[in-house]
Amino acid sequence: MLRATSELEFSKEKNTEEISQLASLVLSGDTSTGEKNSTGLPEKTGYPDSVYIMAANVFQGIRFEKSPEKVLIKYGNEPLRSLPESEDESFQRSSYELAFSALKFQDILEAILIDSCIFPSTTIPDHLSSLIIVMLYDFQDRKFQARFVSDNEEPIAEVQEVENLLNSFKIKLAAALARCRIKHDALSIYHILPETVRNQELRASTLPLYAWINTCKISPEEVYYSLKKRGYNKVKSVLHIDDKVFAVDQHCYDVLIFPSRLKNNLLNIDLFKDYKLIFQDKSRSLAVHSVKALLNMDDDILMVNTGSWYTVAHMSILTNNNTSKIFVCGVKSQAKDPDLKNLFTKMGCKNIEILHEAFLNIESKDHRLQKVKVILLLPHCSGLGVSNPVEFILNEHEDTGVLKDFSQGGTSEDKLHILVQQQYEQLTHAMKFTKAQAVVYCTCSVYPEENEGVVKKALEFQDHGIKVQPYRLSPPVLPLCSLKEIHLSTDKFFRMEPSEITNGCFLSVLTRERDPSEAVSVKDVLARAAAKGLLDGIELGKASKREKRKKKKSKIPLSKAPTNDSNDIQMKIAEFLNRESNANANRSETLATKTSLPQKNTTTAGSSSHVRKPNKPTSNPSVPTFMKNTAQPRPYERQTNFVRSRPEDRVMALKPVEIVLPPVMLPFSGSQGIKSQIPTQHFYYRWVGPNTVLPNCFPSPSTSRRGEKPRENLPSSLLRHPRPWL
């Protein structure tokens, strides 16, 4: 017999009240995009059908499998059909986040399904079990409210079937969830998670955003100006600031930092749409800047396991002014080549070459890699130093199995051992490239086994049979900006621990020891440069007229001469060295002639030839001398200036380097005004000689006169440079 209408209405009101009371106890730690309610929290509206399908397939591959005697819910092996739009990055991000959340609460969600009698009472195919799990998590996350469905969305039959099932059991599901919370004495199921997982998620929600500047398209100053026009202010730190601000990173001059809450706003401005600013984790910027510090102008680079293509692009941008070429290995599918080339073209990258071979299959003597001097190795790692595993998977193309490790707060011993072995093999293979001079090894892991353990083992067991110098551990090439960084880098490893401002990072630089047999003199370097024609137009030494005429007759244009003719090179080297030796001899004779001038003044001032103090530079004889009682110089002073020795003409054992500083010109005309306003010691731009005077040199004019003021007190603005034409 059917119940009366009033009884049905009373039962409906009671059920609604019960659902409301139970739902109010269900709080979720995760948030999704959507409109905000009265409390300021994002309102959960659900996901499109295609996101549920993709999330179910991801969950199916990473779920925890239980022993047969403990299995209560069976999962099928067949993946669900996904739509082509699931390749979109936004759909992938939502799907990975939903699958990761369901994985963290897999045990609780299975217990709720059994407690609510959905299993095993209903006859649902096993291949839909993964879909039920991910949709149940989202259902309780929405507090068992209806999902918003767009009119433009194409419905999927499997999603509609599971959604109807969950709606029919929503009272029992809410009650089962409440009993689970009471059992664990938790305010929400979020508090049932391990503390390490909760801290990691909290850090991920507040971690600042890092973006590097594409200097091929825009300069840093232009970026600052553009951001300022949009209301962004430049500050030293973006932490605990609610305004629209940004800061410049201390380690990488082309990296900007933004608060995490501004990501959606930043993605809509032209700087990011036009690839002038690119979001990327800071650890990858640290790696490419380390490589840049080790490069010469024409050195090539080999990048291994690059993960994100933005890392390759950043390396290309930093070497845009060089003649370097970047080789990227490990691209398995050639079908991606057009897309990659299109991306690099949009970003302004021109020096990238893709290799489809796996790194371990590339021989160290490959003819394409003979100019590779630096190898950047970014091995697959556990990634436990990263706060957001979903971004880590999407950006670095890592396997989804990383989500399983993050949900437990750690990596299993077996998997860690496999990763370490792979990293060791790649590092030792990189050290076999005989032409390479440096290897940069970078991970996002916090495990010593993946970091210094791999590096030390590779250095210890490196092959010493190769006829090249062995590798050694070098100090970090990045600036150390704090005492903590200095302390962490005492063993020559660069480390950044996971914190509220950055993810974890480990970086090591290995360089070859210099081969003593390859040491060359300056003459050898110049001779090689002259033989290659690099010094054409540069006069290194004056040759005699006879040598010039002889060279003019025998000179052959370099464009017609074969580059591999050893006799021609030897002749050029011999000619260059002969010319340099003649030039040195001529300079010596000139200096000897200058020092053999009539020494009639040296006898009159023999007692004045004492050791000169370096803190009192002598005045220039060519500058007019201001006397104590008169402003006009004596007549005989100008007649004796030509025989006075200048400090630059002394025969001294100095290196062939001359420092020439410009004279200081001040707008004052009187010496008294200058003395009263400007300290004289700030304007002595003079070359101070050694404390000993050679016997062939003339005494200082300032010491040979009597009755004059010491010239070191003269204002420097009245001094004239002895050789202003230099």
| Pair type for strands 255-258 and 494-496 | unpaired
Q: Are strands 245-248 and 233-234 parallel, antiparallel or unpaired?
A: parallel
Q: How many C-beta atoms surround the C-beta of residue 691 within 10 A?
A: 9
For 95, half-sphere exposure in the C-beta direction (CA atoms, 13 angstrom radius) is 28
Helices in 654-710 by DSSP H: which ranges?
A: 671-677, 701-704
HEC per residue, 597-628: CCCHHHHHCHHHCCCCCCCCCCCCCCCCCCCC
To the nearest 10 degrees (0 to 180), the angle between helices 195-206 and 401-408 is 110
Residue 471: burial class (beta carbons within 10 Å; 0-12, 13-18, 19+): buried
Q: Quick check: 93 and 74 in contact, CB under 8 A?
A: no
Q: Which residues are catalytic?
A: 444
Distances in Å between the Cα of 465 and the Cα atoms of 96, 365, 469 are 48, 16, 10
Asked whether the CA dihedral 583, 586, 592, 593 is positive or negative, the reply is: negative
Cis preceding-peptide flag for 633 (omega within 30 of 0)? no
- Alpha-carbon gap, residue 230 to 499, rounded angstroms: 29
Query: What's the half-sphere exposure (Cβ side, CA atoms, 13 Å) at 504?
Result: 23
Question: Checking DSSP bridges between strand 245-248 and strand 255-258, what pairing results, if any?
Answer: antiparallel
Neighbours of 601 (CB within 10 A): 17
What single DSSP character describes residue 542?
Answer: P
Q: Which two tokens stand for residue 262?
A: 């501004």
β-partners of residue 610 are: none
Candidates 106, 98, 110, 113; CA nearest to 175 is 113
State how far the alpha carbon of 152 is from the alpha carbons of 48, 149, 163, 462, 472, in Å: 10, 9, 19, 61, 61
